[in-house]
Each structure stands twice: as C-alpha cells, then as structure tokens.
Amino acid sequence: MGKYDDLIPFIFDNIGGRKNIISSNHCATRLRLKLGDASKFNEDKLKNNSLIMGTVKRDNEVQLIIGPDVDKVYSLFNKECNKSEFDNQVRQQKRRRKNLKSYGTSIVDFISGTFVPVLPILVAAGLVSAVLNILVTFFGVSTTSGTYTILNTVNNAGFYFLPIYIGYSAAKKIGINGMMGMFLGAILVHSAIDGVKGLSFFDLAIPITTYNTTTIPVIFGVLFMALVDKGADKVIPDAIKFFLKPLIVILITVPITLILLGPLGNVVGGYIVSLLGLMFDKMGWLSVGILGGLTPLLVMTGTNQALFPLVFAMMAESNYDSFVLPAMLAANVAVGAGALAISLQEKMLKNGPWPFQQALLE
C-alpha cells in the first residue's frame, strides 16, 4: 500500500464526500478544491493529519498543503473522483448559472492547470543551462564538443517546443484529447509553418508568425479546438466518430489558428510584454517591490498562477524576465527569512538565547 492511499478516503470523509466536489486542481504544493458546501470542510481534522501540512479556506474554495508530493496525491484523488457519481455531480454543478466571480475563478483555474504541469520541463531546461555555463566556464568544456551540443539541445528543447507541451496540458485541462492539443502545438512549430513567409490556405493569406517558445497562440487554438470538438461530437455518428472526428477537428482548427488565432495570440503576448515593460520602465525597482509584496497574497489565493503567461511572454520576447520572477524570488527569500526569525525567537523563548543572540541583544 502506498504512502497516500489512506489519505484520499480521509480527505473525502472530511470535505463532504465526492458529491460535494465541484472541481479539483493543484499547484506546486497544494491540492486545491472547490466545494459545493464549504461547511462540510472539517478543517481541524484535516490539519491534524500528519500528511497535511496545513489548510486554507476561502469561501467555497479550500486548499490542502501537501508539499512536493502533491502531484501524487492529486493523481490518486482524481482516480477516486473518476466515477460516474462524481461525473454526474460535476455536470449538474456546471449547468448552474455562473456569476462573474466564478468566471474569474475558472480562468485562474484553467491557467493554473495548464501551466503548472509544464513547470518541471522549464525548471529542468533552465537548470541545465546553468550547469552548461558552469562546465564551460570552470571545467573547460568546449563549445564544439558533443557534451556541449547535447546539453545545449536539452536547454533549447525545453523552450523551443513550448507550444507542444502547453497544447497537451491545455487540452487535458479543458477536457479534450491531450494528444490533439499536442498535435496542434507540433504543427505550429513545424519548420514549414513557423515564421515562414508567403503561406496561404485556399488563397487566404497566412500572416508571418513565429510560434516557437510562445504560449498564448496555442492556448487560443486549443480553446477553439474544444468548441469544434464538442460540436463534432454531437453531429458525427458514433460508428465513424473514431476516424472522422479527429480529421474534422484538425482540418477546421489549424487554418483558423494559422490565419486568425495564432497571430492574434502573438499580438496579445506582445502587448502584455509591452505593458510589463512600461510598468518596469516607469516605476523601476518599485514595481518589482510592489509585486514582491503582493506575492504571498497571490499564492494564498492561487492567482499567482495567472502570472505564468506573462513570464513566458517576456521570455519569448526578450529571453529573460526582469519583473515577475525576481519579485517572486525576493518574496520567497523574505518569507524564508521571516520563518527563520520566528524559529530562532521561539527557541530563544524556550531555551534562552544562543551565544550569538545574546551578543546581539547586548
């Protein structure tokens, strides 16, 4: 039996069961749940479980702090949820009229569910670049060697093929075939399309657009693909759906994405970068400080996930992010320093000051 097998039924017992779950998601450390009746959330019992580090409750949205193994817990949680009883409840909840707040929550949930699964790729690719720089600078690895070529390719592949990873993740999050989202991302970065001049589709001109390292164009494409997918599901007979549906979906989605949605996504990404650049230029270090100060609040509410598209847009445009990530790094260091200070203070109150603390007090 796995470490978390007993945790899943324990969670269900203390959140009101499957029927009380509207949606589930996770970030780097937290299992995030939206409940139909928040009064059934037994915070005291959940906090006392040794596998749960803490809880956060905000209206009918709750968070269970699991730690770095949250993806394992989420996977087990989803397996338990993927039963007809749960699916029917979700469908019933989705039929209810949504207010503005619920739409905002849905948008943040979609962004979080799309970008968080891709983060390990970007972390690995970015750290490989750091390792490569160390090898070249301090260990004399030649830039013409096979070692350099392989590690440099690992780094480049993490970012160059970003539309493929995002396409898969977005499609899975929105509830359609993830492979079709991946397929769309692969089409966009194909050398015959990516940044190519003079393309047309049935005499309709296709704007010159560079898709590698971008995120917004493929997200727009996948959102449109979901609409086509649901429409095709209704009209195509079941007997031929397996063969005909993927053909119809991709033949409609690709031209619309290349002609309209992809270029539009690049324009939106450019505006986002320009807006952040303007804010940084006008406010300088203060803009980083403001975002850093807001980061703990953003993390607690889950809205920090909405900043990932901004990071990727800036990296695609400028190859670096001088705003969001530095601000979050400063916030994390500050929180860590605060936690360390509290820890030392508690130990001092319990055991008396350590020698260096006594020296500081004197």
Per-residue pLDDT reduced to its tens digit, 146-162: 999 999 999 999 989 99
- What is the residue range of 320's domain? 294-361
Please tell me the total count of domains within the chain: 3
pLDDT digit string, tens, across residues 290-310: 888 888 877 765 556 667 777
* pLDDT category of residue 143 using cuts at 50, 70 and 90: very high
Rounded Cα distance, 110 and 170, in Å: 8
Would residue 102 count as lying in a domain? no
In the listed set 66, 96, 126, which residue is the last one of a domain according to the structure? 96
- Say if residue 245 is in the same domain as residue 144: yes
What is the rounded average pLDDT of the residues 6-32? 86
DSSP state at residue 40: G
In the listed set 32, 65, 96, which residue is the last one of a domain according to the structure? 96
- Say if residue 199 is in the same domain as residue 333: no
For the chain, the average pLDDT equals 84
DSSP state at residue 198: S
Residue 139 pLDDT greater than 70, yes or no = yes
- Say if residue 257 is in the same domain as residue 247: yes
- Say if residue 213 is in the same domain as residue 310: no
Q: Which of 65-79, 216-230, 273-287 has the lowest mean pLDDT?
A: 273-287
Residue 58 pLDDT greater than 50, yes or no = yes
Query: 157-194 as b/e, with b when 16 or more CB fall inside 10 Å?
Result: ebbbbbbbbbbbbbbbbbebbbebbbbbbebbbeeebb
- Say if residue 277 is in the same domain as residue 318: no
Residue 211 pLDDT greater than 70, yes or no = yes
pLDDT digit string, tens, across residues 150-204: 999 999 999 899 999 999 999 988 889 899 999 999 999 999 999 999 999 999 9
Q: What is the CATH number of the domain that holds 40?
A: 3.30.1360.60
- Say if residue 179 is in the same domain as residue 216: yes
**pLDDT at 355 (0 to 100):** 64
Would residue 110 count as lying in a domain? no
- Say if residue 141 is in the same domain as residue 244: yes
Task: Compare 273 and 83 and report the one with higher pLDDT.
Answer: 273
Residue 84 pLDDT greater than 50, yes or no = no
| CA angle 137–139–144, rounded 5-degree value | 75
Percent of the chain residues past pLDDT 70, beyond the cut: 85
- Say if residue 163 is in the same domain as residue 287: yes
